[in-house]
Amino acid sequence: MSFFKKIFSSEKKETLDKGLEKSKTSFLSKLSKAVAGRSKVDADVLDDLEEVLIASDVGVNTTLKIIDRIEERVDRDKYLGTDELNKILREEIAGLLSETNDEDATEFVIPKDKKPYVLMVVGVNGVGKTTTIGKLAAQFKKQGLSVVLGAADTFRAAAIDQLQVWADRVDVPIVRQDMGSDPASVAFDTLKSAVSKNADVVIVDTAGRLHNKVNLMNELTKIKRVMQKVVPDAPHDVLLVLDGSTGQNAFEQAKQFTLATEVTSLAVTKLDGTAKGGVVIGISDQFKIPVKYIGVGEGIDDLQVFNKFEFVDSFFK
Ligand SMILES: Nc1nc2c(ncn2[C@@H]2O[C@H](COP(=O)(O)OP(=O)(O)OP(=O)(O)O)[C@@H](O)[C@H]2O)c(=O)[nH]1
Ligand SMILES: [Mg+2]
């Protein structure tokens, strides 16, 4: 298929291959057990394949779509061997995901006409928000862009300190206040500072307390409103971070969060330590909001721009 002919950066692909190793090995061993001793893709094999996909966290709805596509293919072709199943899955899933009409990027791009470009990062506790912000800051800086971080997660002192550690590591300025101060006020100060510095990118960290949805929504709305006093069309991107290692739970979080507040893109983290990487396929298929980034490790370079074809290629090859 043509999209696999795209040349991906080999370094990026290697990190992705390594990051997805657990998910892939687990999937392949389940699949080979399921088709053991059978050479032809028939109704029984499809039944088992359905189970394997669901057990791999792809999600029921997306799994059913995939099975439908493969069934059609079985009807069309006279004979499909189980040895071809991996290749067929790769093609059909890539085809399915290409139907969602979001753009497929391969690198970090900030629109030039938005300055400063304001990125607000949201998500429940512990999913990897602060780490993702640090990695993003490093990537933007590498591109020669100036970055300012805002520590608007004022819920815990440790949260502010952790962002400070990243700011020092990447060597970018951070705007912070004391723990317990008004997050909207921190966001306001951050944007003011970015404008006065003529900075290219602002990344604002926020606290995630989903157990009180109304509170959370009000707080995020207030942060946005206050930011707009400085940059009228801010935030340009509201990035929801999801912990991929929680599998279907990440899926549920995405559902709940997107109902509670306006989210414009998704990041799925911790894919390296888990066998639940299939969840990215389901999330990418089921949500209109694009998965923009994936986290494949704790290191500063372990954040990638999500490209569904690269992903599927790494997963099923
Ligand atoms: N293996 C791995 N670990 C990750 C990844 N992203 C984040 N982590 C780890 O996950 C843990 C939580 O990350 P944080 O960035 O603190 O998460 P957070 O959402 O800011 O958490 P709170 O501030 O407590 O809400 C840290 O130990 C990170 O190193 C990833 O892609 N892979
Ligand atoms: Mg944090």
Residue pLDDT, tens place only, 145-195: 999 999 999 988 899 999 999 999 999 999 999 999 999 999 999 999 999
Q: Whose CA is nearest to atom 17 of ligand 1?
A: 128
216 pairs with which residues across the strands?
A: none
pLDDT of res. 78:
81
CB 20 within 8 A of CB 277: yes
Centre of ligand 1 from the C-alpha of residue 133, in Å: 10
pLDDT of res. 206:
95
Q: What is the pLDDT along the chain (317 residues), one digit of tens a residue?
A: 445 545 567 888 999 999 999 999 999 999 999 899 999 999 999 999 999 999 999 999 999 999 999 999 999 988 899 999 999 999 999 999 988 756 667 788 899 899 999 999 999 989 999 999 999 999 999 999 999 999 999 988 899 999 999 999 999 999 999 999 999 999 999 999 999 999 999 999 999 865 567 888 888 999 999 999 999 999 999 999 999 999 999 999 999 888 888 999 999 999 999 999 999 999 999 998 999 999 999 999 999 999 999 999 999 88
State the SS3 of the chain.
Answer: CHHHHCCCCHHHHHHHHHHCHHHHHHHHHHHHHHHCCCCECCHHHHHHHHHHHHHCCCCHHHHHHHHHHHHHHHHHCCCCEHHHHHHHHHHHHHHHHCCCCCCCCCCCCCCCCCCCEEEEEECCCCCCHHHHHHHHHHHHHHCCCCEEEEEECCCCHHHHHHHHHHHHHHCCCEECCCCCCCHHHHHHHHHHHHHHHCCCEEEEEECCCCCCHHHHHHHHHHHHHHHHCCCCCCCCEEEEEEEHHHCHHHHHHHHHHHHHCCCCEEEEECCCCCCCCCHHHHHHHHCCCCEEEEECCCCCCCEEECCHHHHHHHHCC
pLDDT of res. 5:
46
Nearest-angstrom CA–CA distance, 289 and 27: 26
pLDDT of res. 2:
45
Ligand 1 probe mutation, 20, 127, 130, 131, most atoms within 8 A of CB:
131
Q: Whose CA is nearest to atom 13 of ligand 1?
A: 128
Query: The tokens of 118 are what?
Result: 């304001």
Centre of ligand 2 from the C-alpha of residue 300, in Å: 15
For 108, left (φ over 0), alpha (ψ -120 to 50), or beta? beta
pLDDT of res. 102:
66
Which residues does ligand 1 sit against, CB inside 6 Å? 123, 125-131, 153, 159, 162, 208, 269-270, 272-273, 295-298, 302
pLDDT of res. 261:
84
Q: Whose CA is nearest to atom 14 of ligand 1?
A: 128
Q: Whose CA is nearest to atom 7 of ligand 1?
A: 128
Centre of ligand 2 from the C-alpha of residue 41, in Å: 47
Centre of ligand 1 from the C-alpha of residue 130, in Å: 7
pLDDT of res. 260:
81
Nearest atom in ligand 1 to the alpha carbon of residue 205 is 20
pLDDT of res. 6:
52
